[in-house]
Amino acid sequence: MKTNAFLSTRCLCAAMTGFLMLAAVSCGQKDNGTGLVSVKYPQLPQGEDLMLSELVGEPEFIVLDSDTAVAYTPFAMVNVSDTYISIFSIASRTPLKLFDRSTGKYLRTYGGIGRGPGEFLQISSVQIDEAGGKIWMMTYPDINKLHVYDIAMGKMEDVPLAYSTDDGSWLNYSFRVDGRDRNITVAVKPENNGCPALAWCQDYEGNVLWEIPKTYSFPEDNRAMMDTDRNVQGMLDVSYRSTNTMQDTVWLYGGGEAHPLLTVSFGQTEQSEAAGYADDNYIYSTTVLPGHIVMSVRKQGKSVMKEGVRHVSTEPLPGVIMDRRTGDVHLGGVVNDLMDGEGVGIGDFVDGYAVCQYDAASFMEAGRTALESGNLSDAARARISEILSALSEEDNDVLMVAPLK
């Protein structure tokens, strides 16, 4: 089985009320990929799955450095740029580790876990900005500023956000950095948190370049958290996840405008505290790709407390695929026809790449399957064969990285 920390942590269902004042609702209406499409999950037809090979270019395979114990990161969250691969973990609370993309060699660790100067307790989001030579991090408990590290020297500075919240809540922001124009686009959860804007663009000094005023707020007990994958060029994508069962909207922000893209109604609108752990809740997670929106869906089962930890069983259901060019929506998923024919997790699409992560033992199995039946070029087959000839189960993870078309 493929190791996929994002798939296990990104379970989505978020509340949205009052947003219809911002845009007209259309169902299946073509609107250059930025119009809102609203559908009901039980009424969606079954359609064809998307093949990963349709969405990406030529894949490359990278064996991460195994020479030092610091290279290992359990439950890894991966970000990719032209030259680098970064890895951190929410589950085990690790600092950021940087690898050379071409060789997989471990380069440096950025930040530290703690409460001292320049330290943090947890990383929530990372962007590698090669144009500016920086690594940007959103960390906890530093909710109203970003940590910025010089890639070459490792020196850290703080960049303040233009607006802040008054509730001190965690994971309130999503961001996207443009290193060439030296600006940051930020979106904030629409809650009664004292922040006047829904989204804004600022320079590195905190001066606001444009902003979108907040015109609505989530209801209480929404349990919502934000996800941003940065797969759409020049735009900040935002989707919400929580354990509630209310309908959700996927957004794009850019140029001073907010574009709601997709709302999927599951027929439940509970907002109470208990609704988050009720049987038969829908849990879903969404990502925006250049030409599609893809949503994974699960149904929540029994919830029990064991030694102070809540354990929730889930059942996978058909996912949702929307063609952003036509507005058509149907049930389906993304299949990794390049490798083993398994489903591709929503969290495998980030920073304009599909990034599939395998531990060494899993890659041995998936790699052999790919050589037999994968939709691969001769060069990719040769690279897999080269890796398999030298790989042992004690080695570090292997990544398949492919650019989104």
Choose between 89 and 370: higher pLDDT.
370
Lowest mean pLDDT: which of 89-103, 129-143, 218-232, 369-383? 218-232
User: Looking at residue 102, what is its pLDDT?
Assistant: 94
253 neighbors 55 (Cβ within 8 angstroms): no
Lowest mean pLDDT: which of 257-271, 349-363, 373-387? 257-271
Answer whether residue 313 shows pLDDT above 90: no
Mean pLDDT of 338-360: 91
Kindly state the percentage of the chain with pLDDT values over 70.
82
pLDDT in tens, 221-238: 666 778 899 999 999 999
User: Looking at residue 17, what is its pLDDT?
Assistant: 27
DSSP-derived secondary structure for 299-350: EEEEEEEETTEEEEEEEEEEEEEEETTT--EEE--EE-TTTTSPBPPGGGEE
Lowest mean pLDDT: which of 83-97, 262-276, 389-403? 262-276
User: Looking at residue 13, what is its pLDDT?
Assistant: 30
Q: How many CA atoms lie within 13 A of 385 on its CB side?
A: 10
Answer whether residue 94 shows pLDDT above 90: no
User: Looking at residue 6, what is its pLDDT?
Assistant: 31
d(CA 330, CA 355): 24
User: Looking at residue 91, what is its pLDDT?
Assistant: 74
Mean pLDDT of 345-366: 92
User: Looking at residue 89, what is its pLDDT?
Assistant: 86
d(CA 399, CA 354): 10
Answer whether residue 373 shows pLDDT above 90: yes
User: Looking at residue 290, what is its pLDDT?
Assistant: 94
User: Looking at residue 377, what is its pLDDT?
Assistant: 96
Q: How many angstroms from the chain centroid is the CA of residue 342?
A: 19
d(CA 337, CA 237): 26
Q: Residue 9: phi, psi to the nearest 5? A: -100, -20
Q: Between vectors from CA 336 to CA 105 and to CA 252, what angle results, nearest 5°?
A: 85
Mean pLDDT of 189-210: 91
Answer whether residue 26 shows pLDDT above 50: no
Residue 175 CB burial class (10 angstroms; 0-12, 13-18, ≥19): buried
Choose between 357 and 27: higher pLDDT.
357
Q: Between vectors from CA 135 to CA 133 and to CA 138, what angle results, nearest 5°?
A: 150
Percentages helix, strand, coil for the chain (3-state, rounded to 5) are 15, 40, 45
Mean pLDDT of the chain: 83
Mean pLDDT of 267-289: 68
Choose between 264 and 192: higher pLDDT.
264
17 neighbors 218 (Cβ within 8 angstroms): yes
Answer whether residue 272 shows pLDDT above 80: no
Choose between 22 and 374: higher pLDDT.
374
> How much is the pTM?
0.84
User: Looking at residue 276, what is its pLDDT?
Assistant: 55
Q: How many angstroms from the chain centroid is the CA of residue 377?
A: 28
Choose between 245 and 149: higher pLDDT.
149
Mean pLDDT of 255-270: 83
User: Looking at residue 207, what is its pLDDT?
Assistant: 96
Q: Of the candidates 6, 11, 60, which has an alpha carbon nearest to the alpha carbon of residue 316?
A: 11
Choose between 246 and 185: higher pLDDT.
185
> Helices 360-373 and 378-390 sit at what angle, rounded to 10 degrees?
140
Choose between 18 and 314: higher pLDDT.
314
3-state secondary structure of 275: helix
Find the farthest-apart pair of alpha carbons in the chain and give their distance in angstroms, rounded. 59
Q: Between vectors from CA 290 to CA 378 and to CA 201, what angle results, nearest 5°?
A: 130
d(CA 207, CA 203): 5
Q: Of the candidates 242, 125, 135, 129, which has an alpha carbon nearest to the alpha carbon of residue 187?
A: 125
